[in-house]
Each structure stands twice: as structure tokens, then as C-alpha cells.
Structure 1
Amino acid sequence: MTCENGPSHKALVIINLKSYASIIAGEDEDPLHADERLSLANLSWICNAGMSGIESLPLDKICRWTGFIEGCLVARGLITPAHDNDDEVPDHPNDPVSNAAQKLFSRYLPMAKALQEIIHIDGRDITKVCERYVNKPGATFDMNLALGYVQGLVCMYGLTTVDTERDVSRPLFHEAYRLTESVIPERMER
């Protein structure tokens, strides 16, 4: 099982990506313009790639991209985070995509704890987010958005890099896609 693939989830992703693209387009200056992965130009590219790939790419991947953009924009102070909900996480213990995400949340938990000591982000305690999915995986729309969000924050605050996280996460998700007989998306470069 992968991220729920219903029309309402796709529509929500598109709404978020359009909103983020509009916010990015409204920025005149980018202090990170030289950073190939974290620049506003790259975040804009991710928005467009997500919107154009909504029917062809795995929705869990686009959800992670959407969450990543949110984390980057929150770190830049351009938006406030979506309020974290404390809803019960549905259990999907035999789901390879969920298990891959769970491994990544375990990886990010120490980074999230370090980050929470440095900054305070109203509305979303990233340590609690990581703990929720470390303790009970769920291949959900929210889980993938949350994973991308945490990835965006830890990259923006320099606790890791986008390239490092690609090297760690890509094999995990590609193996999960193989196990679920899903198409492994081709590598996309800007």
C-alpha cells in the first residue's frame, strides 16, 4: 500500500503546491540563491514538477516533496506550519513504503531533538512528529507530508543535506516500490 491515491488527496496536494509556488514567485530576493537544492528557484521547480507529475509519479513521493517545500518555507519565515494534528495514526505494519518512512523518521528523531532545542516553531513540534511515526508507522497522506516537512527543516537548518538524504532515502523507497510492485520513478533533475 502506498499513500492514499484518492482525488481529494491529489487535489489537496495541487492546492498546496500552487499556494507555495505563488509564495515563492512573490519573493524578490533569495539569500540561498547559490544553493542548488534549497534555492527558491529549485523549490519552484519542485512545485511545478509535482503539479505536472500528479498523475504519473507516486503520490507518496509528491507528498514528501510538498512537505519538504513547506519545511523550507517555514524555515525561511515565509509561512507558518500547518498545525500538527494528534489524530491516531492508522497502523500499516506490513507496508514497505510505510516501513521505509519509519526508518527515516528514526534517522531524523535525533536531528529533530537537536533542532527543537535551537528553535521553536509554533504549531508543529517536529520531535513529536518523528516520535509518532517511529512508534507506529502509517502509509498515509499525512505521514508522507510530515516526512517531507521534517526533511525540509533539517536540511534548511544544516543538520544534513538534500544530497545526503537522497542517498539515504532513495534506496529505501525504491526497494519499497519493488516490494509493492510499483513503478520506480525515474530520477528527475532540474
Structure 2
Amino acid sequence: MNSPEALAQTAYRQVIEARAPTLSGSGGIRYAVLTDPGRSRVFLTILANEGGGNFNREIVAFDDIEEAIADQPAETPFGVKVFRVAFIGKSNNNAGFLAAALVHAGLLAPSEVKHKYLKIGDWPAFEAGVLARDDAETFLFPPALPEAVQVFVSAGGVAPVADKPGKKNRRGGNRLIPVEAAPAEAGEGDHADHP
């Protein structure tokens, strides 16, 4: 049951929002690259899918993405299923949509082996570049619910998770996955960066 506490929003800094073609090339996804308010960590999230495939809406830490492929030998192609460990949700499309975002960002490339990818680019430089950017918008997760739903949830009701009007919620749908709050910085002077 979703409680009002479970629906509390966490603020992030949205540095990039972009459209990427899916790995099959049959459609596209929208994704965002985020940082925590203290600019210590980078996150990715899938915002939308132009096609009919479901995915879990959650914030994925960039270091969890890196860790998912840390054991992959250099120059050796790998399948996108390795990214499943970075997600809490279990949708089959999570890993593929994340890989599509990483290809678009220049961090993965298709290999000569069908459905296999190579790690490319300078991942530390990408992360440092995102953290250094000042042009960011506030990104709240999960997105705000309509006021009528907020009142219903505050009264002890369960928040709906289906996001398409007229569609019933199906198992594995585009559900919001609760995530831990972005880490607050403990260092001196960091409090000025927080909203």
C-alpha cells in the first residue's frame, strides 16, 4: 500500500533530457541525466517510451550502472541484460532502454556481434562533466500526483500506478519505483547547493 510517506518527493538536478532511438531502431525513449543537489552523484532515469513497451520508472545511480559492467573484459561485447542488476523493478525493457540512453550518450556502442555492445567513451569524464554543469532544472521524483489523488492518498487510499488514461494497471506496467532520497552532502559549504 502506498502511504503518503512513500510518495514523498526527492529533489534532483536535471542536467540533460534527451530522446534516444531504441536499440531495435523501431522507436524512441526519453531519458534524463540527473545529479543530487550536492553534485556528488549522477543518476539516469527513463522518462517515456514512444512504443508500447513497459518499463519501471526509477532513478538509477550511475555508479550502479558502472558496477554492472565492471567485470566485463575490455573490448569484449556484452548483452544489455547485465544492466538488470542496477534496477529494483523487474521489467524486461529496463536494461534495453538504459542501454539505448547510454548509446545515445556515447558510452556504449553496438559491436559486430548482434545484440551485443561495447563500453566506449570516457565514463569518468562524462560523470565529471555532468556534475560540473550549472544549467540544471529541479527534477522531483516521483512526479507530483494530481491534487485529488494526493487527498485520497493522505486519507489512507492507495495511489494509482497506471499512467495511461483508460488503461488498467497491469503487472509490470510503467510503475513508479520508490527510491531512497538523494544523498545529502556532509561537507562544509554544501548546504548552499541544496534547494
Give the alignment's TM-score, normalised by structure 1. Answer: 0.24
Give the alignment's TM-score, normalised by structure 2. Answer: 0.24
Larger radius of gyration: 2
Pick the structure with more strand per residue.
2
